Chains A and B, each alone.
Chain A
Amino acid sequence: MNAEAEIDDLLRATATGDRAAFRLLYDRTSPKLFGIALKICRDRPTAEDVLQEVFTDVWRKARNFDPRRGEAGAWLAVIARNRSVDALRRQGRGIIGATTGSDADLTTVPAPSLLGDGRVDYLTLIDCLNRLDERQRSLILRAYYRGDTREELAGAFDTPVNTIKTWLRRGLTALKTCLDE
């Protein structure tokens, strides 16, 4: 059984209240999810709190996972990303974080070589992001990896919020069009 199928099975078993499966799921996926939390939160204690929240969510919401809509690994990663962004916002980091410039790696498209595998959907997303106007791409990536709000993006780009909204939505429209091709 491949790793993705195993995670899928473990998540479904977790949904039935199987604690042994939940433990195995933790063992298999927590390094990846902790990596996501650390990358976004950029603070170890916060990332540890986030990881606890993530697995509390997973235990409670495992039955919401629908394999027809996506892979278990992606479903888990989304929870980790959203919880990380929530934690950043709770801490009110936006004001400080938006003005520090040492996180270029969070606002640029990862090189395809960094992708652990060559899955077509991932490569397609990267390819579509690369086709966007640089400004649109940067906005989307900042919002995604750093949890920047429209207001924070407006500050970072020294641009009115309404313009940010327009750029963001143009970028997302182009991204959707590219992904649907």
Chain B
Amino acid sequence: MMGKERDLDAAERALGTLPRKGENARTRREREAWELRLAALLRPIESVAPPPGMFARISERLAHTETCQTLGKTRRSARRWKGIAVVASLAMVGLSLALLAPRSAPEHEATRYVAIVTADEGGAPGMIVQFDTGTGIATIVPVIPDAPNGNVYQMWHVPAGSSKPVSIGLMPDKPGHMDVKIGLGDLFGISIEPPGGSPTGQPTDAGWHGEMMRIE
């Protein structure tokens, strides 16, 4: 039986007086149970016809998203990864453009990418991965509060073409370089794990995703 305090935390996350960030699969379900309970409060709100053309705008938005996902193979890998939140991959298009760009010192020319890994709901960032093709160095910037209830955040990497997440360690307190080779089509994610990290060597929960953007 669920503890009273835990149930009240779930209720407050449903209300929004506690943040949803940091939930695991179990606490998410507990919050959702409260959300469905409280949804009755939305019943008396009157319907209002949305403006014409709205569905077309939604379709465009979805088409754009799916194009991005296909480029990064994010969807396919995400499904294999049993739902772990995933960061979009480096886009091959971006790298090609970088190679074509006229620069005076090609050996130092660089394209920089940034992946902002955000919470599944609410959009708050959990970590930022920066990658510089010139130096080949990836840097992680954690922007996440301590994991709730003594848990830890664990970072994962899925090399392109692989379906198996590999742990790249627990979330650091400070920005640092990541000991991982990054390539086209790679994926990243964050999961919440018990102290010491995942006991199974695989992510047991995930609540963060994002997309890799080329910044220069």
A interface residues, Cβ below 8 angstroms from B: 23, 26, 30-32, 34-36, 38-39, 48, 51-52, 55-56, 59, 69-70, 74-75, 77-78, 80-82, 85-86, 90, 110, 114-116, 119, 121-122, 125-126, 140-141, 143-145, 147-150, 153, 165, 168-169, 172-173, 176, 179
Q: Please state if A26 and B55 are interface contacts (CB–CB under 8 Å).
A: yes
> In the complex the two chains form, what is the Cα distance from A176 to B10 in whole Å?
12
Nearest to B38 among chain A residues (CB) is: A144
Q: Please state if B42 and A48 are interface contacts (CB–CB under 8 Å).
A: no
> In the complex the two chains form, what is the Cα distance from A122 to B42 in whole Å?
10
Q: Please state if B47 and A34 are interface contacts (CB–CB under 8 Å).
A: yes
Besides A39-B46, A86-B121, A173-B8, 15 more A-B contacts (Cβ < 8 Å) are A30-B55, A32-B47, A34-B49, A34-B50, A48-B51, A51-B50, A55-B55, A56-B58, A59-B62, A74-B40, A90-B123, A115-B43, A126-B40, A149-B16, A176-B7
The dominant DSSP class at the A interface is helix
Q: Tell me if B65 counts as interface (CB < 8 A to partner A).
A: yes
Using Cβ atoms and an 8 Å threshold, which residues of chain A touch B40?
Answer: 74, 121-122, 125-126
Using Cβ atoms and an 8 Å threshold, which residues of chain B touch A75?
Answer: 36, 39
Q: How many interface residues does B have (CB within 8 Å)?
A: 37
> In the complex the two chains form, what is the Cα distance from A69 to B15 in whole Å?
18
Q: Please state if B17 and A149 are interface contacts (CB–CB under 8 Å).
A: yes
19 A-B pairs (CB sep. < 8 Å): A26-B58, A30-B54, A34-B48, A36-B45, A39-B46, A48-B50, A48-B54, A51-B50, A52-B58, A56-B61, A56-B65, A69-B32, A70-B39, A90-B123, A110-B44, A143-B17, A153-B17, A169-B12, A176-B11
> In the complex the two chains form, what is the Cα distance from A81 to B32 in whole Å?
13
Q: Tell me if B41 counts as interface (CB < 8 A to partner A).
A: yes
> In the complex the two chains form, what is the Cα distance from A90 to B123 in whole Å?
9
Q: A51-B54, A52-B58, A52-B61 are in contact. Are A125 and B47 (CB under 8 A)?
A: no
Q: Chain B 62-79, CB within 8 Å of chain A: the 1/0 string?
A: 100100000000000000
Using Cβ atoms and an 8 Å threshold, which residues of chain B touch A31?
Answer: 47-50
> In the complex the two chains form, what is the Cα distance from A141 to B51 in whole Å?
29
Q: Please state if B48 and A52 are interface contacts (CB–CB under 8 Å).
A: no
Closest-CB distance, A123 to chain B (whole angstroms)? 8
Nearest to A31 among chain B residues (CB) is: B47
> In the complex the two chains form, what is the Cα distance from A51 to B119 in whole Å?
20
The dominant DSSP class at the B interface is helix
Q: Please state if A74 and B44 are interface contacts (CB–CB under 8 Å).
A: no
Q: Please state if A122 and B43 are interface contacts (CB–CB under 8 Å).
A: yes
Contact of B54 among A52, A140, A148, A172 (CB under 8 A): A52
> In the complex the two chains form, what is the Cα distance from A85 to B15 in whole Å?
10
> In the complex the two chains form, what is the Cα distance from A59 to B65 in whole Å?
11
Using Cβ atoms and an 8 Å threshold, which residues of chain B touch A74?
Answer: 36, 39-40, 42
Q: Tell me if B37 counts as interface (CB < 8 A to partner A).
A: yes
> In the complex the two chains form, what is the Cα distance from A49 to B7 in whole Å?
32
Q: Tell me if B26 counts as interface (CB < 8 A to partner A).
A: no
> In the complex the two chains form, what is the Cα distance from A150 to B36 in whole Å?
21
Q: Please state if B41 and A168 are interface contacts (CB–CB under 8 Å).
A: no
Q: A26-B58, A143-B15, A176-B7 are in contact. Are A125 and B50 (CB under 8 A)?
A: no
Contact of B41 among A55, A70, A144 (CB under 8 A): A144
Q: A125-B40, A141-B41, A169-B12 are in contact. Are A35 and B17 (CB under 8 A)?
A: no
Closest-CB distance, A180 to chain B (whole angstroms)? 10
Nearest to B58 among chain A residues (CB) is: A55
Using Cβ atoms and an 8 Å threshold, which residues of chain B touch A36?
Answer: 42, 45
> In the complex the two chains form, what is the Cα distance from A32 to B54 in whole Å?
14
> In the complex the two chains form, what is the Cα distance from A121 to B43 in whole Å?
11
Q: Tell me if B150 counts as interface (CB < 8 A to partner A).
A: no
Using Cβ atoms and an 8 Å threshold, which residues of chain B touch A153?
Answer: 17
